[in-house]
Structure 1
């Protein structure tokens, strides 16, 4: 079959690509963290949601654009101006986080926690998780070996089914709300810093990192429609990304609202999965339990497929002697093992890693988008990244579990950062460093460029 060349992505293909983006990004964390945010933010849920939407929707869209604009084949190429060694380390850290260490195991533990665990005794939960996660990752591996069908499988079949199931819960909740949000209680961090805390909660979705990994899959899908002009690919990426991520944003708002209103009937839970299960049971009883278990399994499996495929593709590209399927088996097996540690442990240890990686990812994304302005000069990348690394390390320390966070050595380092780093206490210690690094890098770039121009003029005189 010959694919006709085209200078734009038509409406049908735009929707298919948008659905692909939606299906790859919307998964475990996207279900539980907005609900938990709503419970923590209470009456300030809308302000908190604004911050959450920036880190959970806008930054992933920018990541897709950065991959397209720089014509990168993935995370490694995007980070390569910082040096090959840095690019490889960054690639490994991103994929380890998205892959077998945190995000991929979470895709199994979330649907189990909210759909299966409430119906088992505490003594049977371990064996239940073992069986469920084995089946989950077995199916994930099976579907992921059929790469050619991923667009059809995710974009045309699973997404509409998932949306139909989710809409059922939303419709019942909006017709018969559990209460209003105006006088809903809120936790102390959200009294005066709802926006910034909402922004930081958006890190937990990992979508900013996932978009860097999935970007090449989206670009490849667009190219498969016969589009090869760089400007057209970038425009198609932006258009499809805005549609797909707008859908995710609407779901975020709905889930956050559900979490806030749930406080009229349920106490603040340890995680959003517990609250989501309570909400579904409140509105639909046993039917709601079955609906949520199905919904969570479907959406989390689509996310798991995207994660393991991106992991295997990138590592096979970097280490071609090891087959794609070998990396796929390794990822699924290790993810299965870590999933059996449980959801709370996975969340506790992923947070400090995300506090370290997200500042580096955000600055890299911004540099990628603006790279045409400074001709992708490695000097700008290295100065910006070098300065961002410093506060990112301290942000990681500040988010460590209490058992390490309370060490005297750790507290000493954090005391230094709190005293000298602007906005550190709000989780944004990297912001001033990143801005200063980029301004310094651009100044050096334009100075060197002008110096080269002047030297060239002198030679020609």
Structure 2
């Protein structure tokens, strides 16, 4: 943890400086992958898209901002420090799991599979999809490895050009959709799960962005940028981060709302896709034709390549710091090859197998974020962490089991555990059975903490 110190710069920051921090936050949280999940959510929610949007914004917009604030107010340098009150072993295990999720297991392979599903797959015969994915992902990760190996900043410059063009394309599609909608969103079909539980299902869909985990993993980059502007005390650092975060996450939230609405309007013309990549391509092609598709494919591929380079480098750097006997370049090679292998399982498979890990990690991350922000109220006492995380982890493990693909979740023993879980734990049917145990754990930990601190008679 860092030593508390006063601000080096006591003057208020300018709007330009706030916008610099906001743009960093925007780049951290919004990538090409964030386009597909809101569109898919809109197709699932149909007429219930507003309620689903409200739930989605909690986990995809508010929670990532709170994750960065948790890093700021707790003087943490990353995931390890956030989990450190529970001991070094827990902190290291939690850090490794999040980096594997953001790294070779799910998020990094997803950069290649999304590029392929949005760009090339729609124009290929079905029988050529798998061999073409193999070639595409090989080229994609070779380029990512070379750029990461040389630690060049060329993609930072490219990103400054790409992102505005990408957002301009998105804005044009939104304008065309508003002027000539494919259908009325409030009149579209609602899938069964969203009839009565649209908010909660939207909340869970927000897990797929992985942005809260990214906020914990890379939030120190934002905190450091604010410190470079002279705001070095925890209070002012958090204040600047929060103000810039409202700008950045507000913009992201508006994009998410538009994308979810857009997804709901497509149901009049297109069937719901298994993932949002196909649907987003259909939308752009509908409004901008083949030129729009070609432009989208190029932008998404280059944007995803930029994201992949950042994730590869961050993974290799962090693991080299934690396991220094293995060099940065070796970790980079391991990460790149593993991501290439995973990418070739395809986007649908990656999403299906990432869901169980997210159902396990997100509850723990949410509780750690809350405790990190509020830690001054209980002096960061590890006993509060112990009770809160201990009671959160049990239902989180059960939710992970229940959300595995059918090969596991439909087995007899998994069915038995699921029935027991639904019978004993409130909210288990919607994957939020960790909420009450977490609240009980926090309360119990606080009681123990304040009991220990009571004046001696």
TM-score by length of 1: 0.93
Judged with a 3 Å threshold, the aligned counterparts in structure 2 of structure 1 residues 385 and 194 are, in CA distance, closer, same or farther, namely same
User: Residues 23-422 of structure 1: matches in 2 within 5 Å?
Assistant: 23-145=27-149, 149=153, 153=157, 156-422=160-426
Partner deviation per Cα, 1:191-241 (whole Å, 9 max, x = no partner) = 011000000000011111111101111122222334322222211211222
Shift of 1:326: 2.6
SS in structure 1 of the partner of residue 355 of structure 2: helix
> 1 CA distance for matches of 2:231 and 2:446?
33
SS in structure 2 of the partner of residue 320 of structure 1: coil
Q: Provide the aligned C-alpha RMSD in A.
A: 1.9
> 1 CA distance for matches of 2:142 and 2:429?
43
Judged with a 3 Å threshold, the aligned counterparts in structure 2 of structure 1 residues 135 and 346 are, in CA distance, closer, same or farther, namely same
Partner deviation per Cα, 1:54-110 (whole Å, 9 max, x = no partner) = 010000000000011111111001101011111111111111011000011001101
Shift of 1:328: 2.3
Q: 2:9 — aligned with what? A: 6
> 2 CA distance for matches of 1:36 and 1:152?
29
Instruction: Give yes or no for the alignment of 1:22 onto 2:29.
Output: no
> 1 CA distance for matches of 2:131 and 2:143?
19
Deviates more, 1:418-427 or 1:25-34: 25-34
Judged with a 3 Å threshold, the aligned counterparts in structure 2 of structure 1 residues 404 and 332 are, in CA distance, closer, same or farther, namely same
> 1 CA distance for matches of 2:15 and 2:149?
29
* Kept after mapping to 1: 8 A contact 2:159/2:306: no
> 2 CA distance for matches of 1:387 and 1:441?
11
Q: 1:429 — aligned with what? A: 433
Judged with a 3 Å threshold, the aligned counterparts in structure 2 of structure 1 residues 298 and 162 are, in CA distance, closer, same or farther, namely farther
Deviates more, 1:218-227 or 1:400-409: 218-227
Judged with a 3 Å threshold, the aligned counterparts in structure 2 of structure 1 residues 280 and 132 are, in CA distance, closer, same or farther, namely same
* Kept after mapping to 2: 8 A contact 1:388/1:434: yes
Shift of 1:124: 2.1
Structure 2 unaligned residues grouped into runs of 5+: 1-6
Shift of 1:330: 2.0
Partner deviation per Cα, 1:159-204 (whole Å, 9 max, x = no partner) = 2232122222222212211111121111011101100000000001
SS in structure 2 of the partner of residue 193 of structure 1: helix
- Residue correspondences, number: 450
Shift of 1:395: 0.5
> 2 CA distance for matches of 1:313 and 1:239?
29
TM-score by length of 2: 0.94
> 2 CA distance for matches of 1:227 and 1:377?
27
Shift of 1:153: 3.7
Shift of 1:9: 3.7
> 2 CA distance for matches of 1:414 and 1:150?
50
* Kept after mapping to 2: 8 A contact 1:384/1:436: yes
Deviates more, 1:428-437 or 1:228-237: 228-237
Shift of 1:136: 2.3
Judged with a 3 Å threshold, the aligned counterparts in structure 2 of structure 1 residues 233 and 295 are, in CA distance, closer, same or farther, namely same
SS in structure 1 of the partner of residue 434 of structure 2: helix
Structure 1 unaligned residues grouped into runs of 5+: none
Partner deviation per Cα, 1:283-315 (whole Å, 9 max, x = no partner) = 111012112212322332333233223322322
Shift of 1:143: 4.0
> 2 CA distance for matches of 1:284 and 1:148?
35
> 1 CA distance for matches of 2:207 and 2:333?
27
SS in structure 2 of the partner of residue 182 of structure 1: helix
> 1 CA distance for matches of 2:239 and 2:122?
45
Shift of 1:28: 4.3
Shift of 1:370: 0.5
